Amino acid sequence: MWYLIIGSDVPNSLEARRNARAGHLQRLQVLASEQRLLVAGPLPALDMEDPGESGYVGSAIIAKFDSFAAAREWADADPYFLAGVYQQVDVLPFKPVLP
């Protein structure tokens, strides 16, 4: 099943994001290579492609896992969560309908 993972950043997370980014992206690339990643990306703090030093307020990931528990375990092991970038991570079942 697909799951929506939403990581909500702590205030002033940009430096911690930069430091943990390589590990975070590496895990996403594994999901992509396994054809289990639908989409992933950051949530800019400003309504613009590059929010600069304003940074991000979180991230959204939609990926396929065998179970809710597996999705939760994956989310809890994310380098952004472990580095303190995320103050909260929500995992929700997701049902793609369109396109």
DSSP single-letter state for residue 83:
T
pTM of the model: 0.95
Asked whether 64 and 36 are in contact (CB, 8 A), the reply is yes
Instruction: Kindly tell me if the per-residue pLDDT of 99 is higher than 90.
Output: no
φ/ψ of residue 84, rounded to 5? 85, 15
Read off the amino acid at residue 13.
S
Note the pLDDT of residue 34: 98
Quick one: how far is CA 70 from the chain centroid? Answer: 15
Note the pLDDT of residue 75: 98
Q: Which residue has the tokens 């309504």?
A: 47
Note the pLDDT of residue 98: 92
Note the pLDDT of residue 11: 96
| Model confidence pLDDT, tens digit, residues 36-80 | 999 999 999 999 999 999 999 999 999 999 999 999 999 999 999
